[in-house]
């Protein structure tokens, strides 16, 4: 099948932008009365969902399907589609996280975002990440570059891990059997880099790599709606996104490494899945 034209991508990006802003307006309204928002746990006590998540998802998905009713949707909370399930079979699949960083949102922290990604025939095509409390919006379309608040962005030029600021996160499932807690990888990276950050929003971590604020990011146990939009922003800003073996299974594979490209091999050598974690976590030369 033919690739979408630049004009088609711009039109789809405009829709993603409008949908993300609609979700952001919902979050901003709820944030004004955060102490009264009903909060539930889903799966584990750490993993929260609120009325704001669900209402924002309804706004985002509603805007998408109003303008493109034949498209498929994969959305986190199940407001208009089955939670965590694709709504149908179509070339265009919208991947939506209505509130990435729910725990931050519940605690009144500004590091949360609405993320709207689009794949066409399985290939990432459009991504918008809107952080209403920060007043920032990152956006990208395949082959058309990436922006932050309308300005073109590029990844950093840092080429030594010792000079790099790196981000990561922790899975909500880290206490369950068979799930790594990421501590060994952090222990390995920390002495090798300038410093480490944990903001609690995968989408924002990716966007901070894209605009050069951060130099690299990795995380485990991720869902497609955690990364689809932000990963495309990284790629269109000149960065590299892979799974933790350097391959392409990052969207549905659950493990992701994103860097400015110059640091990718260095960081992959430390956090990559080919290492025997828990036995000798710090690679030779990392300290």
What are the domain boundaries of the chain?
Answer: 6-152, 161-271
Average pLDDT over residues 210-215: 98
Per the structure block, which two tokens stand in for 239? 């960065």
Give CATH for domain 161-271. Answer: 3.40.190.80
Q: In a 10 Å sphere around its CB, with 0-12 CB exposed, 13-18 middle and 19+ buried, how is residue 89 labelled?
A: exposed
The full DSSP string for 24-44 is HHHHHHHHTTGGGS-EEEESE
Element (H, E) at 37: none
- Residue owning tokens 């549905």: 252
Q: What is the pLDDT of residue 173?
A: 57
Whether the CB-CB separation of 227 and 114 falls below 8 Å is answered with: no
**Confidence category of residue 9, pLDDT binned at 50, 70, 90:** very high
CB 113 within 8 A of CB 100: yes
| Tokens 């088609």 sit on residue | 8
pTM attached to this predicted model: 0.89
The fraction of the chain above a pLDDT of 70, given in percent, is 85
246 φψ region: left (φ > 0), alpha (ψ -120 to 50), beta (else): left
List Cα–Cα distances, 167 to 75, 196, 256, 264, in angstroms.
25, 6, 12, 13
Range 79-107 average pLDDT: 85
Class of domain 6-152: alpha beta
Query: Of the candidates 211, 98, 201, which has an alpha carbon nearest to the alpha carbon of residue 148?
Result: 211
DSSP β-bridge partners for residue 217: 167, 258
Tokens 């990276």 found at: 189
């Amino acid at each position: 099948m033919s690739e979408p034209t630049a004009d088609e991508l711009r039109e789809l990006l405009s829709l993603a932008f409008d949908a993300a802003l609609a979700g952001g307006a919902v979050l901003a309204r709820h944030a004004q009365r955060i102490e009264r928002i009903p909060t539930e746990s889903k799966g584990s006590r750490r993993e929260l969902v609120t009325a704001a998540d669900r209402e924002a998802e309804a706004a985002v998905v509603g805007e998408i399907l109003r303008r493109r009713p034949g498209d498929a949707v994969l959305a986190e909370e199940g407001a208009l589609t089955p939670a965590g399930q694709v709504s149908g079979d179509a070339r265009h699949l919208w991947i939506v996280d209505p509130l990435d960083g729910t725990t931050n949102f519940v605690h009144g922290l500004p590091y949360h975002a609405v993320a709207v990604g689009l794949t066409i025939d399985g290939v990432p095509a459009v991504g918008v990440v809107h952080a209403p409390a920060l007043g920032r919006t990152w956006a990208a379309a395949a082959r058309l570059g990436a922006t932050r608040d309308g300005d073109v962005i590029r990844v950093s030029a840092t080429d030594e891990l010792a000079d790099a600021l790196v981000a990561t996160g922790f899975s909500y499932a880290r206490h369950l059997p068979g799930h790594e807690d990421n501590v060994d990888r952090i222990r390995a990276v920390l002495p090798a880099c300038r410093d480490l950050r944990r903001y609690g929003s995968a989408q924002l971590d990716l966007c901070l790599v894209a605009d050069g604020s951060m130099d690299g990011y990795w995380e485990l146990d991720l869902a497609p709606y955690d990364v689809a939009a932000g990963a495309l922003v990284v790629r269109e800003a000149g960065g590299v996104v892979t799974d933790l073996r350097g391959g392409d299974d990052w969207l549905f594979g659950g493990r992701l490494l994103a860097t400015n490209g110059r640091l990718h091999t260095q960081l992959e050598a430390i956090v990559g899945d080919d290492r025997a974690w828990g036995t000798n976590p710090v690679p030779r030369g990392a300290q």
